[in-house]
Amino acid sequence: MALILNGDAELWAIVLLSLKVSIFAVLISALIGMPVGAALAVARFPGRRVLIVLMNALMGFPPVVVGLLVYLMLSRSGPLGVLELLYTPTAMIIAQVVLVTPIIAALTRQVVEMLAEEYSEQLRSLGVSRLASVPVLLWDARLALVTALLAGFGRAIAEVGAVIIVGGNINHVTRVMTTTIALETSKGNLALALALGAILIGIAVAVNAMVSTLSLQAEREGLRHA
């Protein structure tokens, strides 16, 4: 606890890097996952069902395996080896994007599909095509979509398997909270591990608090006019 309270510089550097990597990963995932999810919700084409099943399966993909696959892609002899990204924060972001995008896409699809059903006849009576209705649906689903983002962030920040493989857990470069906890625990340095664990839990609680605050806020918005 003293480590947290004393503002240990090394500890906070690790925390900051964790946040930076995961926030970037979530933003990129949102840019990919939301349009894909929304498109899957409203478009009708052969193979759509298969894609949805695949996407849902990807949600539960083991991080270690994702780490391995990204490693193979980025390693010297891999197809993207020339970029020399292995063991950099960028590599960790890529791995987390692979992990988080399916979550955001799948949750977006669920939310938008439900909403699309509710809006369907109304929008058709207004002469709006299915694809043209996407912006309206995304906007009206915004609260649920923020929840999807936070869920994705939760997965990204807590994940250890993928980032340790592609990041390498290099001190001051790719060492994040989860990888530090794993390392320090095996070294027997429980104080640092516990301090980071506490912060990680704190972040998880904060994220959850934000989710419920958001839904509460929506409710209050309703009550204010009462």
Partner 1 sequence: MKTESTTQPVIEARQLDLTFQTNDGPIHALKDVNLTVDKGDFVSFIGPSGCGKTTFLRCIAALETPTGGALTVNGMTADEARRNRAYGYVFQAAGLYPWRTIAKNIKLPLEIMGYSASEQEERVKKVLELVDLEGFGGKFPWQLSGGMQQRASIARALAFDADILLMDEPFGALDEIVRDHLNEQLLALWARTEKTIGFVTHSIPEAVYLSTKIVVMSPRPGRITDVIDSPLPRERPLDIRDTPEFIEVAHRVREGLRAGHTDE
Looking at beta carbons only, is 80 or 128 nearer to partner 1? 128
Q: Which of 7, 60, 127, 188 binds partner 1 (CB under 8 A)?
A: 127
Helix (H) or strand (E) holding 178: helix 177-187
In 10 A of CB 213, how many CB atoms? 11
44 binds partner 1 (CB under 8 A): no
Residue 160 CA to residue 197 CA, distance in Å, equals 13
Long-range interactions of 128-131: CB distance < 8 A, separation 24+: 130/42, 130/43, 130/44, 131/39, 131/42, 131/43
Q: Specify the DSSP class assigned to residue 75.
A: S
Binding to partner 1 (CB under 8 A) within 142-201 occurs at 143
Q: Which of 4, 64, 72, 123 binds partner 1 (CB under 8 A)?
A: 123
CA 23 remoteness from chain centre: 8
Q: Does 10 bind partner 1 (CB under 8 A)?
A: no
Whole-angstrom Cα distance, residue 105 to residue 55? 8
Q: Which amino acid makes up residue 192?
A: L
Stretch binding partner 1 (CB under 8 A), from 62-70, 131-139, 180-188, 205-213: 131-139
Residues 191-220, mask of contacts with partner 1 (x by CB under 8 A): ---------------------------x--
Q: Tell me how crowded residue 80 is: count the other CB atoms within 10 A of its CB.
A: 15
Name the one range near partner 1 by CB under 8 A: 40-48, 77-85, 105-113, 126-134.
126-134
Of the ranges 2-10, 57-65, 123-131, 147-155, which one interacts with partner 1 (CB under 8 A)? 123-131
Helix (H, G, I), strand (E, B) or coil at 43: coil
Question: Out of 69, 140, 168, 197, which residue is the one contacting partner 1 (CB under 8 A)?
Answer: 140
Which residues sit at the interface with partner 1, rule CB under 8 A?
Answer: 118-119, 121-128, 132-133, 136, 140, 143, 218, 222, 225-226
